[in-house]
Each structure stands twice: as structure tokens, then as C-alpha cells.
Amino acid sequence: MKRLGYGDRTMVIIIYILLMMLAFTTFYPFWNAFIISFNEGKDTALGGVTFWPRQWTWENYETVFKDKRLIGAFSITVLRTVVGTITSIFATSIFAYGMTHKELIGRNYYMVICIITLYFGGGLIPTYLLIRGLGLDNSFWVYIIPSLISVWNMIIFRTFFNSLPDGLQESAKIDGCGSWGTYFRIVLPLSGPVVATLALFTAVYHWNEWFLPSIYVTNEDLIPIQTLLKQVLNTNIVTANTSSLDTASLAILGKMQSITSKSLSMAIMMVATLPIVCIYPFLQKYFVKGVLVGSLKE
């Protein structure tokens, strides 16, 4: 090992300090929300709960898991994530596989049609009017159908499929496999990494998406957890200023005795976050690769 010069050592120390500060400021909000979710509500309101819970309690979580509306929202989110991810990955990859065929008539036109949508769009209001016109509002399918095909993912799939050796598919054809057979028996099984990456991103999208339901869905049984959380948080923020309170969220908060809105919303926040926090370290190596595949396609 070479010894670093004086200037170099100072620089390295400064960099370590800056990175530690970054890691701390990134991690601390999680930690703070986490411990507040385990701290007794009234005690939290006294202030000063910063690093450790002062009055440990499960009460916040008990309240959360007893609330029918929250359990419903959680189940809808899980259902939406599972169904949305599987259908979207299938639809998009089949579409992409079709597009890899060089003999496909109209292939270049199809590609132009796809690319245009990356740069132009109708915007919020025409889309809103369309979805309502189709009668998709207040239906579970509004979560699934409009996001079935992602052009970005199609391009990434296509790039990956193109990199598979041609010989494999040709021999499958010679052995009597049609295009569908080749897709299911050869192409899909060989596409593990790209399917995993895109499935992760699609799943994260479905898990986190809250805006769609907030404008299309009024049926409370269909509201996912992020949208519900948004309503609860907004109630807390706005209480002081306006009277436009969401009565449904107040109903949840109204049950509180020793539980305050803050401690409860932290618990809901943890319930909405932890699934991602838990799977994420296992998937890190995939998405780092996946991001690179995605960025190289240009």
C-alpha cells in the first residue's frame, strides 16, 4: 500500500465525512418514523423522541391491523401489484418478441408508432376523459389495463431478445415450434435477468402508485394503501388551516385514545414501506444491471 500525501489524506477524510452525512440523512427519516411508530402516541406528542422509542408500545400497529379499511387497502395493493406485474410483463414481452421478427410486415411503422408515444401524449385531461368514457373509473381494471404495455420496457425486452443467439430460435423452428412455442419454451426461460429487473420496476410502480386511484376511484374498497396514507397525512397537515377534512380518515383517527394521528400515520407509513425495504437488498444487484441495460439502448 502506498501512503497518501497530506492533501490526498485530507480529501479522503472529507469525502468519508460527506458520505457518512449523506448516508445518515438518507437513513435517519426512516429510522425516526420507525421508532415513532413504536412509541406511545401521547408521549410522542411531548416531543424529544429522536433516536430511540421512549415508551415502547405495539398499540399503533394493533390499531392499524384492526382497521378494516387499512387491511382492505393493503390487500388491494398486494392484488394490484401481483396482477399488474404479471400481466404487464407478459403482454409487454410478447409484444416485444413479436417485434423482434425481421420478417414482420409493418415492423418499422409499428416501431415509429411506439416511439412517438414516448415523446408526445394527450396529457392529463384527455386521458381522464378517455378513462371515464371507457367506464374504467371505479373499477379494479383501471389499475391493470392502461399500464399493460410499457413502450420503454418493450424496447428493453426487444434489445435483450435480439441479443439471444439466432441459432436457438431457428433450431426450435426446425423442430416444429411456432412463434408462440418458441416464446414460451425458449425465449422466456432464457430471459430471467431482464424479466426479473423489469418485474421489479413494474411491481414497485404498482405498489407506489397513488394518483390514479385518487382521481378515478371513489369506491373505498378499491383504494390502495398509498392513496389512503396520502389522505391520512393530508388530514394531519391541513387540519390547522382548512375544514376540507377527509371524513373517512378522521373515522380512523377518531378511535384514538392514547394514539395520536402522528404515531398512527407513522405506523401506516411503515406498513406501506416495509415490503419494499425488505425485498430491495436482494434485488439490488439485478436492478443495477437492469439500469445499465436500459441506459445503453440509445
Partner 1 sequence: MAQLSIEGNTVKKKNSSSLFIRFLKQWEIQLMVLPGLILIFIFSYIPMYGVLTGFKDYNIIKGFVASPWVGFKHFELFFNSPDFSRVMRNTVLLSLLKFVIGFPAPILLALMLNEVKNMYFKRIVQTVSYLPYFLSWVIVAGFFTSMLATDNGSVNIALEKANLIDQPINFLSISNYFWTILITANVWKDIGFASIVYLAAIAGVDPHMYEAAEMDGASRLKQMFLITLPSIMPVVIIFMILAVGNLLNAGFEDILLLGVNPLLRDVSDVIDTYVYRVGIQNGRYAYATAVGLFKGIISVGMLVIANYLARRSGNSLW
**How many beta carbons lie within 10 A of that of residue 208, not counting itself?**
16
Paired residues of 56 in beta bridges: 39
Complex with partner 1: residue 56 or 180, whichever CB lies closer: 180
List the one residue from 159, 179, 196, 258 that touches partner 1 (CB under 8 A). 179
Residues 131-170, mask of contacts with partner 1 (x by CB under 8 A) = ---x----------xx-xx-x--x-----------x---x
Binders of partner 1 in range 241-280 (CB under 8 A): 241-242, 262, 265-266, 269, 272-273, 276-277, 280
Q: What is the radius of gyration, based on Cα positions, of the chain? A: 25
Binders of partner 1 in range 199-238 (CB under 8 A): 204, 207-211, 215, 226-227, 229-230, 233-234, 236-238
Shortest reach from residue 181's CB to partner 1, in Å? 10
Binders of partner 1 in range 6-25 (CB under 8 A): 7-8, 11-12, 15-16, 18-20, 22-23, 25
* Backbone conformation region of residue 165, classed left if phi is above 0, alpha if psi is from -120 to 50, else beta: beta
Shortest reach from residue 230's CB to partner 1, in Å? 5
The grid coordinates of residue 277 equal 425495504
Cα gap 66→53, rounded to integer Å: 22
Give how many residues touch partner 1 by CB under 8 A: 104
- Give me the residue label for grid cell 415492423: 107
List the one residue from 42, 55, 57, 128 that touches partner 1 (CB under 8 A). 128
Kindly indicate which of the ranges 156-164, 186-194, 246-254, 286-294 contains the residues binding partner 1, using the contact rule CB under 8 A: 286-294
Apex CA 280: angle with CA 279 and CA 281, to 5°? 100
List the one residue from 178, 192, 220, 297 that touches partner 1 (CB under 8 A). 178
Cα gap 285→118, rounded to integer Å: 27
List the one residue from 82, 130, 168, 251 that touches partner 1 (CB under 8 A). 130
Smallest CA-to-CA distance from 168 within 157, 154, 181 is with: 181
- Give me the residue label for grid cell 382492505: 72
Residues 40-79, mask of contacts with partner 1 (x by CB under 8 A) = ----xxxxxxx-----------------------------
On whether the CB atoms of residues 162 and 188 are closer than 8 A, the answer is no
Angstrom distances, CA of residue 71 to CA of 212, 220, 248 = 20, 12, 14
Shortest reach from residue 71's CB to partner 1, in Å? 18
Paired residues of 39 in beta bridges: 56
Tell me how many helices (H) and strands (E) the chain has: 16, 0
Complex with partner 1: residue 63 or 227, whichever CB lies closer: 227
Shortest reach from residue 178's CB to partner 1, in Å? 6
